[in-house]
């Protein structure tokens, strides 16, 4: 592994961050003032889109090595929990509150747990960059207009639980993808299994809601599905070339894109405190490149 993160890996991970913010915005997109959009059918359609895209491409790819299949199974189960918690986080809070908390907390958890588990260590400059990114993301999540106390507590709880699950599947996949010999196929098998499980679960309970959401928002399946698979696939590929914790932190620059999307399309307020947090994240991204 090289001393620094190659520039093409940096660029790819930043592209993945944009894709990640895009599909989250599709899930959180507002409905009418009287009937806010339900994130559950939107999230399930995004996952289903990822499963369909994976099913179309997998026949043309080499299968992951046998050593990686236990990791694929564990990751698929963990990703199911992730999407269910994500739905609840967005059901109880704004994207500009929940997204920074869950994405900002996860890399810290990865960095703290990954060293003792795998022996992988970061250089001082990478620790500084990670702290800047995570500190900025967390600051952005806290720099917001107050909600109803109970609603904000629920959104925060679900966001932090989601962060724990993100950290768990990041460590699972950081180890699994390196054993797979086929990062793209490894990623697509995870999305195929996750998508089938969640779609079957949701269709038994809310089939009509899924059909209505697909008709009302036709971009959810193709755009959301391709975005989520490509975003995570790029991140896993990057983890084969650079430290897992460093890539996990750099990927959280997605908050820069999510902030712009939330302000322009979701009509969420972005004040000076959040702009300062964005500056911290940008500094962290530069520091990660130079570390």
The pLDDT, as a whole number, for residue 146 is 53
The pLDDT, as a whole number, for residue 285 is 73
* Residue 75 in this model has a pLDDT that exceeds 60: yes
What is the pLDDT averaged over residues 64-90?
A: 96
Helix and strand numbers (H, E) in the chain are 11, 0
| pTM of the full structure | 0.82
Could you tell me if 216 and 174 are in contact, meaning their C-beta atoms sit under 8 angstroms apart? no
Could you tell me if 281 and 253 are in contact, meaning their C-beta atoms sit under 8 angstroms apart? yes
* Residue 32 in this model has a pLDDT that exceeds 50: no
Q: How many angstroms separate the CA atoms of 239 and 196, rounded?
A: 26
What is the pLDDT averaged over residues 114-134?
A: 77
What is the pLDDT averaged over residues 220-242?
A: 90
The pLDDT, as a whole number, for residue 263 is 80
Quickly state the pLDDT bin for 33 (edges 50, 70, 90). very low
- Which of the residue ranges 183-192, 201-210, 232-241 has the most confident prediction, judged by mean pLDDT? 183-192
* Residue 182 in this model has a pLDDT that exceeds 90: yes
């Amino acid at each position: 592994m090289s001393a620094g993160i190659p520039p093409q890996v940096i660029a790819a991970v930043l592209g993945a961050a944009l894709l990640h913010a895009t599909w989250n915005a599709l899930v959180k997109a507002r409905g009418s003032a009287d009937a806010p959009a339900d994130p559950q059918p939107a999230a399930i359609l995004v996952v289903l889109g990822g499963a369909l895209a994976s099913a179309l491409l997998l026949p043309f790819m080499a299968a992951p090595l046998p050593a990686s299949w236990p990791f694929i199974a564990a990751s698929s189960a963990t990703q199911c929990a992730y999407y269910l918690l994500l739905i609840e986080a967005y059901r109880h809070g704004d994207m500009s509150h929940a997204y920074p908390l869950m994405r900002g907390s996860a890399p810290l958890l990865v960095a703290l747990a990954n060293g003792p588990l795998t022996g992988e260590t970061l250089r001082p400059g990478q620790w500084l960059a990670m702290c800047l990114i995570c500190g900025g993301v967390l600051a952005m999540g806290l720099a917001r207009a107050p909600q109803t106390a109970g609603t904000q507590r629920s959104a925060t709880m679900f966001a932090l639980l989601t962060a724990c699950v993100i950290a768990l599947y990041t460590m699972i996949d950081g180890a699994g993808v390196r054993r797979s010999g086929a990062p793209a196929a490894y990623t697509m098998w995870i999305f195929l299994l996750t998508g089938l499980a969640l779609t079957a679960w949701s269709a038994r309970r809310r089939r009509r809601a899924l059909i209505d959401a697909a008709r009302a928002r036709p971009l959810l399946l193709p755009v959301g599905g391709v975005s989520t698979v490509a975003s995570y696939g790029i991140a896993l590929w990057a983890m084969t070339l650079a430290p897992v914790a460093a890539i996990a932190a750099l990927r959280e620059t997605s908050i820069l894109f999510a902030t712009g999307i939330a302000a322009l399309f979701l009509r969420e307020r972005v004040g000076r405190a959040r702009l300062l947090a964005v500056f911290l994240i940008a500094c962290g991204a530069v520091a990660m490149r130079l570390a």
